[in-house]
């Protein structure tokens, strides 16, 4: 019997790529969607889809179990600020929220994973079926980093790891060793654009660097750092020419097309396993 994978489906291209990968690997996809968030084209790759309001837990679990799901994957973005308003929690969700030590994304998602386990559903690595898209160490495309660029990247790496450990964000944007923007709840693209605006206002004619890392002890089951062609287009608009990612823990969507677009835009992309790769 063909295994059915449950997909908890947020926004963006991530869940669609994952569904395609699952099908290619011989699985069927059962999708839990969210109204106004889940991309409509996910239906093309799902044997069953049902949409729920944010905050519902019992009904999505029941839906997946009724459709023969035993393993579940989370993919796609859901606004972190949703926890502060705009959701209609069911009784089970209310109980979960009451037990949270804080309202950070990792705390909430980890608790949801525990709830799934109680019902016999295993939350698995978000990169499952997309292993070929995990960033490999070294120069992805573009020019070799100079010593000064590596020094700036190492500084940005330390800053990014600091905010990641605090679960604030995963990205910093800098010019040499001056940080122009730190990612908060707005997400990577808006962070990059904000840095571009600040640099223009300062009269600086230089080029920005974007450093994006995983959390220390990143839980690979959810909220992985990702990069795709939209990231490159945002960088180009903001005046950023270097992207440094964390190898082994970051997904690069459609890597061949991504590298071609980066070359076209004159953007260098480098993947480091640790800060030692930048020293």
> Which residues 6+ apart lie within 8 Å of 195 measured at CB?
173, 174, 180, 181, 208, 238, 240
- How many CA within 13 A on the CB side of residue 55? 15
Instruction: Record the tokens describing residue 152, joined without a space.
Output: 């700036």
Mapping DSSP onto H, E and C, the string for 169-205 reads: CCEEEEECCEEEEECCCCCHHHHHHHHHHHHHHHCCC
107 phi/psi in degrees, rounded to 5 = -65, -45
CATH entry, 131-278, from 3.40.140.80, 1.10.645.10, 3.40.50.300, 3.30.930.10: 3.40.140.80
Task: Please report, for the chain, the start and end positions of each structural domain, with discontinuous segments joined by +.
Answer: 4-123, 131-278
Cβ atoms of 231 and 259 within 8 Å: the answer is no
Q: How far apart are CA 176 and CA 192, in angstroms?
A: 15
Q: How far apart are CA 181 and CA 174, in angstroms?
A: 7
Q: Return left, alpha or beta for 147; rule: phi > 0 is left, psi -120 to 50 is alpha, else beta.
A: alpha
- For the chain, 279 residues long, give each residue's pLDDT as a single digit of tens: 899 999 999 999 999 999 999 999 999 999 999 988 999 999 999 999 999 988 888 999 999 999 999 999 999 987 654 544 456 667 777 777 777 776 666 666 777 888 899 999 999 999 999 999 999 999 999 999 999 999 999 999 999 999 999 989 999 999 999 999 999 988 999 999 999 999 999 888 789 999 999 999 899 998 899 999 999 999 999 999 999 999 999 999 999 999 999 999 999 999 999 999 998
Give CATH for domain 4-123.
3.40.50.20
Check residue 134 and report its DSSP letter.
Answer: B
200 phi/psi in degrees, rounded to 5 = -60, -40
Neighbour count for residue 142 (Cβ, 10 Å):
18
* pLDDT score for 206: 83
Q: Is the dihedral of CA 187, 188, 193, 194 positive or negative?
A: positive
> Which residues 6+ apart lie within 8 Å of 20 measured at CB?
45
Q: How far apart are CA 4 and CA 66, in angstroms?
A: 11
Closest CA to 187 of 7, 8, 11: 11
Neighbour count for residue 279 (Cβ, 10 Å):
11
Q: Which residues pair with 73 in a beta bridge?
A: 7
Can you give the pTM of this predicted structure?
0.89
Distances in Å between the Cα of 125 and the Cα atoms of 8, 67, 108, 154, 167 are 13, 21, 17, 28, 19
């Amino acid at each position: 019997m063909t295994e059915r994978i449950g997909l908890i489906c947020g926004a963006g291209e991530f869940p669609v790529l994952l569904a395609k990968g699952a099908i290619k690997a011989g699985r069927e996809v059962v999708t839990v969607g969210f109204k106004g968030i889940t991309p409509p084209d996910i239906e093309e790759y799902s044997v069953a889809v049902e949409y729920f309001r944010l905050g519902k837990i019992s009904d999505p679990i029941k839906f997946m179990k009724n459709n023969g799901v035993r393993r579940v994957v989370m993919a796609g973005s859901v606004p972190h600020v949703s926890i502060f308003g705009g959701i209609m929690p069911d009784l089970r969700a209310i109980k979960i929220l009451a037990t949270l030590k804080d309202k950070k994304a990792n705390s909430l998602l980890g608790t949801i994973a525990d709830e799934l386990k109680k019902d016999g559903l295993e939350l698995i690595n978000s990169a499952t079926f997309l292993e070929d898209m995990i960033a490999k160490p070294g120069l992805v495309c573009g020019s070799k980093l100079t010593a000064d660029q590596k020094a700036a990247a190492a500084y940005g790496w330390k800053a990014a790891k600091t905010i990641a450990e605090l679960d604030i964000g995963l990205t910093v944007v800098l010019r040499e060793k001056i940080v122009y923007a730190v990612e908060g709840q707005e997400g990577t693209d808006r962070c990059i654009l904000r840095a571009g605006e600040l640099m223009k206002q300062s009269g600086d004619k230089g080029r920005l660097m974007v450093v994006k890392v995983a959390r220390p002890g990143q839980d690979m089951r959810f909220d992985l750092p990702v990069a795709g062609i939209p990231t490159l287009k945002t960088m180009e608009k903001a005046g950023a020419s270097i992207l440094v990612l964390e190898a082994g823990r970051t997904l690069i969507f459609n890597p061949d097309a991504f590298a071609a677009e980066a070359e076209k835009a004159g953007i260098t992309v480098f993947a480091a396993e640790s800060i030692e790769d930048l020293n």
